[in-house]
Copies of this chain bind each other. A is one copy, B any other.
Amino acid sequence: MIAAKYKDMLGAKSVIRELSEYATARGKEIGYENVFDYSLGNPSVPAPEKFRQAMVDLLEKCDPMALHGYSPSLGITSVKEKVAESLNKRFNMNYTYKHIFMTAGAAGAISHAVRAITVPGDEVLTFAPFFPEYHPYIDLSGAVLKVVPPNTETFQINFERFEDMLNENVMAVLINTPNNPSGIVYTKETLEKLAEIMTKRSEEYGHDIYLISDEPYREIVFADVEDIYVSKVYDNTISCYSYSKSLSIPGERIGYIAVNPSCSDAETIVNMCGQISRGIGHNCPSSIIQLAVAEVLYETSDLSVYETNMNLLYKELTDLGFTCVKPGGTFYIFPKALEEDAKIFCQKAKNYDLILVPGDSFGCPGYFRMAYCIDTEKVERSLAALRKFVEAEYR
């Protein structure tokens, strides 16, 4: 029987993807350089040359049978050892390879984590604004994603509503800092308060509440912003990492789960991930990609462009009167729209070839996202369009 739950999803097209397709079509009409496409979170800087060189070296120097052979079901041990070592050095942790599981990006990591620590019907809480793909990752595992409304003053956590919504069916809390779409980095105070509440409620309910920390933007943190490694703050943390943004290789589908060694059932969770993979036919990520990232663990693409772009946009947006929390990282900014319905606001912006994404699908109506992973030269040219749009429509 054709599975209705997947068939029904076909109707609900992603707003982001629709806008991106519109931008491409419009680009064919007027030249893509004239479309200010802020829709997609695709890295705009190339992978480091060292990554390319690592790939070529592997292809030229390794025995092809070893290079392209099956990974062990939990990932290549030497790769996991290097990942653990790099995290220990940078964040003063004590991971071993037994706490690392290689995944197809953060998507694969979250999907494995939620299957390991929930059973169907369990609740997972996340905080608006949030990445809309959390819905398929969580909901199709059988768990239920519930969204805590935003604190729109700061885009830190709305603790009042969080405490209301926490209940004994909540087995995991899913956070994303630096955050897509707000660009906000959770402060030390936010993370410590989150940990304190989760610890207290775990004791009260008599079961662990795990923290799933989605960290694809971990390396994109701007000047003067304190960057906390989430797992340092709360033992029951499963860190979900992706190399998509830091190395600009989103198509290669590579990341990992790192389970805090002090987490309850830490090694069991990693071992269970191997079994979850069997069930979803996933197995390991590509072996050559695993081996290549292990050679460039201390490298990133030149990520400085994102901060340059943010500063340009933030200044122009605030000059134009937008309410806007200054991003601490990522390549997103999330201002308040100039009219109540951000969908209408973004629709009007298209007339100025500004492609903006309404905040509704991020759980935050009335706001809009700009993904400024585009050339700085284009950001600069877009500022006049932005000014023209605001002056024509809202003055």
Contact = CB atoms under 8 A, between A and B. Distances in A.
Interface in A202-230: 207
Size class of the A contact interface (CB-based, 8 Å): 35 or more
A171 B2 CA distance: 9
Contacts of A63: 46
Contact of A115 (B6, B59, B68, B115): B6
A1 B119 contact: yes
A328 interface: no
Interface stretch (A190-198, A275-283, A318-326, A341-349): A275-283
A268 interface: yes
Given A118-B3, A253-B285, A286-B253, A275 B59 contact: no
A104 B281 contact: yes
A258 interface: no
Nearest to A268: B7
A109 B105 CA distance: 19
Interface string A280-324: 111111111100000000000000000000000000000000000
Interface string A28-63: 000000000000001111110000100110011001
A43 B65 contact: yes
A233 interface: no
Contacts of A91: none
A284 B288 CA distance: 16
Given A10-B271, A117-B2, A111 B280 contact: yes
Interface in A111-130: 111-112, 115-119, 122
Contacts of A47: 64-65, 68
A263 B249 CA distance: 36
Contacts of A45: 65
A280 B115 CA distance: 10
Interface string A1-19: 1111111011000000000
A68 B250 contact: yes
A7 to B, nearest CB: 6
A252 B71 CA distance: 9
Interface stretch (A135-143, A358-366, A384-392): A135-143
A278 B52 contact: no
A148 to B, nearest CB: 21
B282 A3 contact: no
Given A42-B70, A141-B279, A3 B252 contact: no
A338 interface: no
22 contacts: A2-B117, A3-B116, A3-B117, A6-B275, A10-B268, A43-B69, A46-B63, A46-B65, A52-B59, A67-B251, A68-B249, A71-B251, A109-B281, A110-B281, A111-B282, A140-B278, A141-B279, A251-B288, A280-B282, A282-B282, A285-B286, A286-B289
The 8 closest A-B pairs by CB, nearest first: A111-B281, A140-B279, A251-B287, A136-B278, A107-B281, A68-B249, A280-B280, A9-B275
Interface of A: 1-7, 9-10, 42-47, 52, 55-56, 59-60, 63-65, 67-71, 103-105, 107-112, 115-119, 122, 133, 136-137, 139-141, 171, 207, 248-254, 265, 268-269, 271-272, 275-276, 278-289
Given A46-B65, A111-B281, A253-B284, 14 more contacts: A1-B122, A1-B207, A2-B268, A6-B275, A6-B276, A6-B279, A7-B268, A56-B56, A67-B251, A70-B251, A104-B282, A108-B283, A112-B281, A252-B286
